[in-house]
Structure 1
Amino acid sequence: MSTLSKQNMTVSNKQPVSGITHAVVFSVCPAGCQDMVAEFRSQEIDGQALLLLTEEHLMSAMNIKLGPALKICSQINSLKRSLNTTTQHLKRVCDD
């Protein structure tokens, strides 16, 4: 959760957590792969699009090699787990 800014998150019924900052989008790129950051920008990957990315998207549409694509997807999955945990916590707090 450290990469997320709580100020940039909103809770809605349709989308558990939206408003993920561009900093989070670009933090999933492996260290030393700043050229990928430019590709994320050119593909207009925002927070919602980031959560939908698959290895296939990264490899075919963005021409990212398998190794880095797997690492990025691992980071995305970790982010999804953090978002789910945060959403569940916020729902419990709001229900009380």
Structure 2
Amino acid sequence: MCTDPALTAPWTLVPMTTDLAKAREWLETSTDVFGVEGILIKPLNSRFMPSYRGWTKVRRRDTTEAIIAAVTGTLTRPGLLALGRYD
């Protein structure tokens, strides 16, 4: 795993592997961490492109992605969220 001393919290580089057994191990152990949904599968030479869905996320539990349309209360203490889901 590569680390960069120039990165400070909350930023960190994430590990990567081409080993299927290692990826399965990460899916079973690392996704117990709060905020980690699963692992990402992508071609080695693929770059992030906004609005392009060419990568696959393998989730350990059922979740859904949504867009927050409105919030009642404050952003630090929301009371109600109005959400929109992707179809």
Normalised TM-score (structure 2): 0.26
| Structure showing the higher helix proportion among its residues | 1
| Structure showing the higher strand proportion among its residues | 2
Normalised TM-score (structure 1): 0.25
Higher relative contact order structure (alpha carbons within 8 Å, sequence separation ≥ 6): 1
